[in-house]
Structure 1
Amino acid sequence: MKPHSLYMEFTRAEWAALRDHTPLPLSKEEFERLKGLNDQIPFEEAEQIYHPITRLINLYVAASQQLYRSAADFTGNHEGRTPFVIGIAGSVAVGKSTAARLLQLLLSRWTNHRNVDLVTTDGFLLPNRVLQERGLMKRKGFPESYDIKRLLQFLKDIKAGKPEVAAPVYSHLVYDVIPDKRQIVRNPDILIVEGINVLQVSKEAQVFVSDFFDFSIYLDADVADIERWYIERFRMLRDSAFRDPESYFHRYATLSEEESVSTAKQIWEEINAVNLRENILPSKGRARLLLQKGSNHEIRKVLLRK
């Protein structure tokens, strides 16, 4: 461990030891169902990396619950406590969705926070119609493509303790927000908010999404690896989801192998790499926990901010 560093650094083995022999409340079948497309992490990842993370978060939640009780006794205001909010950020194709679903399931199996919800910020993207009107379709995923005011209001309502808060829903099949469809969040013990933009800041704003987080995680990897994973995922989607006539990307289903790689590389270089470099990577230093992935998708180092 480096002296006077902002972070405590752990190798994979050092972090795995923090599990402290507690049993993993997860079956291999559940783990396989949670994994995203082209996410090749082994079952041991849940045991050695994510289970210790839930032990750490459990300590944070327990401390938060105790602080609530103490403050309630002090003020005499015993209104229901508000959800503990976790933000998960990182690039496209880095494995955020799998990490979020895995943490949701594992955290829900701790006795003092059974109710764990998950919301992705994709639902807060502006509808394609609006993006087209503003000439932003090729900037989808960039900060200006989100309805940040709506996302902030959602988080304000969550932290205000409202019994029900609605979040918009996004379809990756049609590549758009689904009109009139909502995900209802009913005052959970923990809310996980996953998205590429959750740790970003803006010079124009006075309040940031991350201001509402009690804990935050950033999934990190070498840019060359993320690009390779993105291209691999594109090729797999070409042979699966893109074949659905309803898919926004159905036109890519007939691409040859060479055309598929070329198209994915172009999209990466013109859109995703730019967004990663300009907006996503600069936000990783704001996370409480950094998970550094190796080229084989496995997490090789964990950094916890002091």
Structure 2
Amino acid sequence: MMLSLASLNIKKKPIFHKSRLFVAFSSKMRFLTQFYRLRHFHSFHLNVCFILFFFLSFIVRYFMGPYISFDRNQWAELRNSVPMTLSEADLKELQGINENLTMKETAEIYLPLARLLNLYVAARQSRNAVLHQFLGNTDISPPFIIGIAGSVAVGKSTTARLLKALLSRWENHPKVELITTDGFLFPNKILNERGIMGKKGFPESYDMKRLVQFVSDVKAGKRNVSAPIYSHLTYDITTEEKVVDRPDVLIIEGLNVLQSGMDYPHDPHRVFISDFLDFSLYVDADSQLIEKWYVERFMKFRHSAFKETGSYFSHYTKLSELEAREKAESIWHSINGKNLQHNILPTKERAQLVLRKGLNHTVEEILLRK
């Protein structure tokens, strides 16, 4: 069973950002101007050919790119009467401390997305049925694996929890599991020994071998695969584990789940989580907006989680409002902002779907790979 955009009744109404087009086109024209001034080419026809070539390449790149762009109204139309299965109370439990997840946002953005994912899962299950019939083996059905990436504080955890809740209510795949890559961070002891405690969340701070093995085992249909659990309270790995037993859908949420061999050209034989993904999603927003959300979340945690017994960050509660804000901004610029620019953001274009957020965590644009 092939899943196409036509099966979703998607009308191609791409939206283009004038600012991006202007910058790109201006760049092209500057190059052409410099090229035209070269004295090595005096042929008028040759110059015309090169101008046409670059103009056509510009058209192909920006008007026939890999994504179809939707605004909220266009995307909401793709819900196709999918019923709302969550209540206001459900949404309140699912949302993050710095977010206000509404029924309107869920209906217009996440129900169409749940419908799309359900179609992808159904297509995968149909393919599995063909293999079962051919092999005469119905014991193993590989799960459909969804990867969700994005910056700290952008709301990817809320997106993951919400999709888990929505997808688990579809009849054809009731068993949905959610794993965060935080559990595969090296313990603080190891990070300190290696001198990379200040790079927590960077690719080198993860036990990638263990993470890839976990995903590989789940994908292979193994029973009762264990994943370590991370505590945001103690800021460290706990002794507890979460057991994943042959889910229909596995959602993996983390900062670097879309990294691939392109990020490590010196190690071409390395295996990545992205090698196992059936669908990938990137939660995006302007970096200045994400920084603002991070600082706001930090300030709210000072009056809640940071005050809990055993909190790793309890010392921040003793700071003044100004000192706490300056500390949050410092952490962002020295750690999270750098990680976003160097490791996370470069993977965005590998996602099959991008949720672009604006103010108040409201999704303003959806990019769906063709």
The TM-score normalised by the length of structure 1 is 0.97
Q: Is structure 2 residue 119 aligned with structure 1 residue 59?
A: yes
Counterpart in the other structure of 1:190? 249
- Shift of residue 114 of structure 1? 0.6
> Is the CA contact 2:91–2:101 (under 8 Å) kept in the aligned structure 1?
no
- Alpha-carbon shift at residue 216 of structure 1 (Å): 0.8
Q: How does 1:224-235 map to 2 (within 5 A)?
A: 224-235=288-299
Q: 1:10 aligns with which of 70, 81, 92?
A: 70
Deviation at 1:43, TM superposition (A): 2.3
**Which of 71, 86, 95 is the aligned partner of 1:26?**
86
| Residue among 276, 280, 294 paired with 2:344 | 280
Q: 1:68 aligns with which of 117, 128, 133?
A: 128
Question: What amino acid sits opposite 2:288 in the alignment?
Answer: A
Equivalent position of 2:37 in the other structure: none
| Correspondence 1:297 to 2:297 | no
Match of residue 320 from structure 2: 256
The alignment yields a C-alpha RMSD, in angstroms, of 1.1
> Gaps spanning 5+ residues in structure 2: where?
1-12, 15-62
**C-alpha deviation, 1:173, in angstroms:** 0.2
The Cα shift of 1:127 comes to 0.2
Instruction: State the shift of 1:80 in Å.
Output: 2.0
SS of 2:318 mapped into structure 1: coil
Partners of 1:125 and 1:97 in 2: CA distance? 16
Q: Counterpart amino acid of 1:64?
A: R
Conserved? CA contact 2:148–2:257, under 8 Å: yes
Q: Tell me which protein shows more helix as a share of its residues.
A: 2
Partner of 1:48: 108
Q: How high is the sequence identity, in percent, across the aligned residues?
A: 53
What's the counterpart of residue 95 of structure 2? 35
Any idea what SS the aligned residue of 1:193 has? strand
Q: What residue in structure 2 maps to residue 96 of structure 1?
A: 156
Residue 308 (structure 2) pairs with residue 244 (structure 1)? yes
Shift of 1:261: 0.8
Aligned equivalents of 2:320, 2:287: Cα separation in 1: 25
Q: 1:146 aligns with which of 191, 206, 229?
A: 206
Q: For the Cα contact (< 8 Å) 2:92–2:101, is it kept in 1?
A: no
For 1:80 and 1:144, locate their aligned partners in 2 and report how far apart those are by CA, in whole Å. 34
Q: Which amino acid aligns with 2:242?
A: Q
CA distance in 1, matches of 2:103, 2:223: 36
Q: 2 CA distance for matches of 1:73 and 1:42?
A: 44
How many correspondences in the alignment?
Answer: 305
Distance (Å, rounded) in 1 between the aligned partners of 2:171 and 2:286 = 37
By how many angstroms is 1:77 displaced? 3.5
Q: Which has the larger radius of gyration?
A: 2
In 2, Cα distance between equivalents of 1:152 and 1:80? 20
Shift in Å, 1:160: 0.7
3-state DSSP class of the match of 1:253? helix
Counterpart Cα distance in 1 of 2:134 and 2:68: 34
Q: CA deviation at 1:37?
A: 1.0
Question: What is the deviation of 1:200?
Answer: 1.4
2:228 maps to which residue?
168
Q: Which amino acid letter does the alignment assign opposite residue 15 of structure 1?
A: W
Q: Is the 8 A contact 2:91 2:102 kept in 1?
A: no
Post-superposition offset of 1:260: 1.0
Q: 1:85 aligns with which of 124, 130, 145?
A: 145
Query: Aligned partners of 1:245, 1:182: CA distance in 2, in Å?
Result: 22
2:359 alignment partner, SS class: coil
Deviates more, 1:79-88 or 1:51-60: 79-88
For structure 1, the 5+ residue unaligned runs are none
Q: Shift in Å at residue 64 of structure 1?
A: 0.3
Q: Is 1:269 aligned with 2:327?
A: no
Distance 2:82 2:299 in 1: 39
